[in-house]
Each structure stands twice: as C-alpha cells, then as structure tokens.
Amino acid sequence: MDRLFEFVVNHYVLASLFVAFLVAILVLESRRGGAKISAQGAVSLINRDEAIVVDIRDRKEFGEGRITGSVNIPLSSLKSRAAELNKHKSKQIIVADKMGQHSAMAVKQLNAEGFANVVRLNGGVSDWKASNLPLVKK
C-alpha cells in the first residue's frame, strides 16, 4: 500500500488522468442506458394510466411474478416484437427486468425502433419486491 501512495505522489499526472478517465467512463455508462425511474415513480405513472410496463424477463420468470398489467416481451425477441408496442407509443414505456442489468439494452433497442418515452425500472423486479409492491402470479 505504501508503494501505491509513492507511485501516486511520483506520477501525479498519470494518477489524475486515470481518475479522470474512470469518472468519464462511469458518467458515460450511467447515461447510456437511458433514464431510470424508481418503483414508486413507476407506480404513480401506472396508476394514472400514463405508462405501460414491458417485462423483458423470460416466460418462466415472468410467470413466477409480474407487475400488474405488464407485457412480457423477452429481451431476445424484443427487436422482432417491438411492433406490438406501437399502440402504446403515446404512453411512457417502463422496461423492467430481473435486477436492472439488461434493461439498458432494451431501452436502447426501443429508442432505435422509434419509441421516445422509454425509461428503465431502477433495480428491476427485485427492487419492486423489496419495496413491498404487489406482484401478480398467473
């Protein structure tokens, strides 16, 4: 550990460039996947009928518990089935997955298909459960 501090002191330009690049990458990656919405924010949009939830988990996980009124379109078939969402273009689309890891990719695909109001559920369905919000089981 002493050598690390010695290196940073002796090569402060390299160390500061490393920190700057690290911060730049983190900022870029956080913005890349689109905006996030909390579970409570999603509930208010859903209750006012201003949003539709697209669940990108596979059918088995979707059957174990889903957000009320959500549409299941697995991530692997999202590009081919995006036309099913055309009737909801005027609404906010909330993309939900298991833990919020893959929803950024789905948001990017939906934006490429022409959907402008797409956000991702922060933390996915697991955060929804952790907030003690209801899930519908078949």
Provide the edge-to-edge strand list for the sheet that holds 71-72.
36-37, 118-121, 92-96, 51-55, 71-72
Q: What is the pLDDT of residues 1-36, one digit of tens each?
A: 889 889 989 999 999 999 999 999 888 877 777 788
Report strand pairing: 36-37 vs 118-121. Answer: parallel
What are the structure tokens assigned to 27, written together?
């900022």
**Residue 93: band (very low, low, confident or very high) from pLDDT cuts 50, 70, 90:** very high
Q: What is the pLDDT of residues 107-118, one digit of tens each?
A: 989 988 888 889
What are the structure tokens assigned to 100, written together?
């919020």
Residues 6+ apart with CB under 8 A from 34: 104, 107, 108, 111, 118, 119, 120
pLDDT value at residue 138 = 67
Distance CA 52, CA 54 (A): 7
Least confident of 28-42, 87-101, 123-137: 28-42
